[in-house]
Amino acid sequence: MAKYRADPFKDKVDLGVGIYRDLSGNTPILDCVRRAEKEVLDAQTTKSYVSAAGREEFNAAVEELVLGAAHPARRDKRARTLQAPGGCGALRVGAELIKDAAPNAAVFLSDPTWGNHAPLIGDCGLKLERYPYYDPISHELTFEQMLHRLQAANPGDAVLIHACCHNPTGADLSTAQWQAVTDLLERRRLVPFLDLAYQGFGSSLDADAAPIRAVVERLPEALIAVSFSKNLGLYRERVGALIVVSENAERADAVNSHMLHIARSIYSMPPDHGAAIAARIFAEAPLRHEWVRELEAMRKRIQEMRSLLAGRLAEITGGNSFDFIRTQHGMFSLLGVSREAVERLREKHHIYMTSDSRMNLAGIMPHNVTYVAEAFAAESGR
């Protein structure tokens, strides 16, 4: 980021950051957020403390958004939800909960995964393992190896899975693959730890949550870390939640008091402002409709840029080796080139990516797509 800022080149391209950008290169405040925020501030009478669990109406709405209104786990009172400071806060509380319940459990992370997973989960003392997930050269999931690796996990180990829009690969499990993974989790008595940071960025709010809903229907326990940083654009307000599903209502109550204890011991209580905005949007139909429309516009913009870039690369290279960019989901894909090529893209072409060649498709604009495609084709040797 510092190198990008320091580069005086007029047409430099930033594909490195992890945030959404619109066609003007801005990370906008959504209109629904602006309206809800005003209503929240107008109605607010105090800045007194909230509780460790956060806002009840926020937690209930998040549970419904993620699991769906009529999910059996909710009907059977097996789910408990804690408002958390962003998806990161939810991941950390989830990790602490696993650590307290099963100190010797390992958490399996996908290889590759988002760079913050290891510190967020490993720094509480849990052992980390990796499962092969994706081959950046063939641009395909390494699904058989994934199953093979997880087969060797011990009962009680947790498996962190990106619920949709995998970061950094953009490659998600198919419905059949989710089923096969769920079978394995059930058979090996492994605990799914699902990271939902991009609900609505893949296909729709409901479709992106569908794999989670199916997993939770089958398995006795699950943890779900939810983030509203991207889909509500509330990054700095730190809005997220941890949903924990337990075997029965009694255990869910015990888990809940444990989660509250963990929250109190780390940050006491979550920040209120962003969650108050989100709760208002979830509850009021006009605001919610506006949100769904704005979310769809963000998703479509990224999908359009994916198609445009893949199409331009097909024209330039005369082949389809970049077609994966069109078919993958969410903001990120791995270009699949060496660190040296990433450096050349930066030094020669002023195109910035992370060193693993992760590109943020929200950095692509109609005016820079040809420039980027030509540079990618030149430096990837295809």
Ligand X SMILES: Cc1ncc(COP(=O)(O)O)c(C=O)c1O
Q: Which of 14, 195, 208, 272 is catalytic?
A: 195
Min. distance of Cβ 362 from ligand X in angstroms?
Answer: 12
Note every long-range contact of 245-250, with CB atoms under 8 Å and residues 24 or more positions apart, other chains counting.
Answer: 245/73, 245/78, 245/79, 245/216, 245/219, 245/221, 246/78, 246/80, 246/220, 246/221, 247/78, 247/220, 247/221, 248/76, 248/78, 249/76, 249/77, 249/78
Min. distance of Cβ 329 from ligand X in angstroms?
Answer: 13
Give whichever of 114 and 322 is closer to ligand X, judged by the CB atom.
114
Element housing 332 (H / E): strand 332-334
CA distance 226 to 66: 8
Give whichever of 16 and 375 is closer to ligand X, judged by the CB atom.
16
Give whichever of 112 and 313 is closer to ligand X, judged by the CB atom.
112
Give whichever of 86 and 336 is closer to ligand X, judged by the CB atom.
86
Min. distance of Cβ 198 from ligand X in angstroms?
Answer: 7
* Other C-beta atoms lying within 10 Å of the C-beta of residue 13: 24
Residue 297: φ, ψ to 5°: -65, -40
Tell me which residue of 234, 164, 160 sits closest to 205, measured CA to CA. Answer: 164
Min. distance of Cβ 235 from ligand X in angstroms?
Answer: 6
Q: Which of 14, 157, 230, 375 is catalytic?
A: 230
CA distance 88 to 229: 10
Q: Which of 105, 114, 171, 272 is catalytic?
A: 114
Give whichever of 78 and 162 is closer to ligand X, judged by the CB atom.
162
Min. distance of Cβ 311 from ligand X in angstroms?
Answer: 27
Give whichever of 87 and 211 is closer to ligand X, judged by the CB atom.
87
Give whichever of 229 and 333 is closer to ligand X, judged by the CB atom.
229
Min. distance of Cβ 236 from ligand X in angstroms?
Answer: 9
What is the secondary structure of 29-45 as a DSSP string?
PPHHHHHHHHHHHHH--
- With a CB cutoff of 8 Å and minimum separation 6, the contacts of 216 are 67, 71, 73, 79, 222, 224, 245
- With a CB cutoff of 8 Å and minimum separation 6, the contacts of 257 are none
| Known active-site residue 52 | no
Hey, is 266 helix, strand or coil?
A: helix
- With a CB cutoff of 8 Å and minimum separation 6, the contacts of 5 are none
Q: What CA–CA distances, in Å, run from 51 to 221, 233, 263, 270? A: 25, 24, 10, 8
Q: Which of 90, 106, 197, 310 is catalytic?
A: 197
β-partners of residue 194 are 161, 224
CA distance 263 to 175: 34
Q: At what angle do helices 86-101 and 249-266 cross, to 10 degrees?
A: 120
Binding site for ligand X (CB under 6 A): 18, 86-88, 114, 162, 167, 195, 197, 227, 229, 235, 240
| Known active-site residue 114 | yes
| Known active-site residue 127 | no
Min. distance of Cβ 53 from ligand X in angstroms?
Answer: 18
Min. distance of Cβ 277 from ligand X in angstroms?
Answer: 14
Task: Read off the amino acid at residue 224.
Answer: I
Cα 368–373–376 angle (5° rounding)?
A: 125
Give whichever of 231 and 380 is closer to ligand X, judged by the CB atom.
231
| Known active-site residue 206 | no
The residues carrying an active-site annotation are: 114, 195, 197, 230
